Amino acid sequence: MKKIKCPQCGKKTTWEGNPYRPFCSERCKLLDLGHWLAEEYRIHVPSEGVEEIHQLPKEEEESE
Ligand SMILES: [Zn+2]
C-alpha cells in the first residue's frame, strides 16, 4: 500500500482506496479547495471593477 501524507493536515493516509486522495478525508479536500478558490478569486478580481465603484458616486454628484 502506498502511504501518503495529507497536504492539508499532515496526517498519514493511504493512496489506494482513498476517494479523497491526496487528502485524508473529505474535510481536508474541501478545505484545500476552498483555499485554492479564494486565491483564484483574488487573482481574477479586475482592478477596473474597483474604479467603477469609485466613478459611480461621482457621476451622480455631477448630474444633480
Ligand atoms: Zn487531512
| Statement: residue 32 has pLDDT above 80 | yes
Rounded distance from Cα 39 to ligand 1 centre (Å): 20
| Statement: residue 26 has pLDDT above 70 | yes
Residue 3: helix, strand or coil by DSSP?
A: strand
- Kindly write down the DSSP assignment for every residue of 8-59, as one continuous string: TT--EEESTT-TTTTSSSHHHHHHHHHHHHHHHHHHH--HHHHHHHHHHHHH
Domain containing 28 equals: 3-63
CATH number at residue 19: 3.30.50.10
Rounded distance from Cα 30 to ligand 1 centre (Å): 10
Rounded distance from Cα 45 to ligand 1 centre (Å): 30
Rounded distance from Cα 44 to ligand 1 centre (Å): 28
Q: How many domains does the chain have?
A: 1
* pTM for the predicted model, two decimal places: 0.55
* Identity of the amino acid at 32: D
- pLDDT at position 16, please? 94
| Mean pLDDT over the full length of the chain | 81
Rounded distance from Cα 18 to ligand 1 centre (Å): 12
C-alpha cell at 55: 466613478
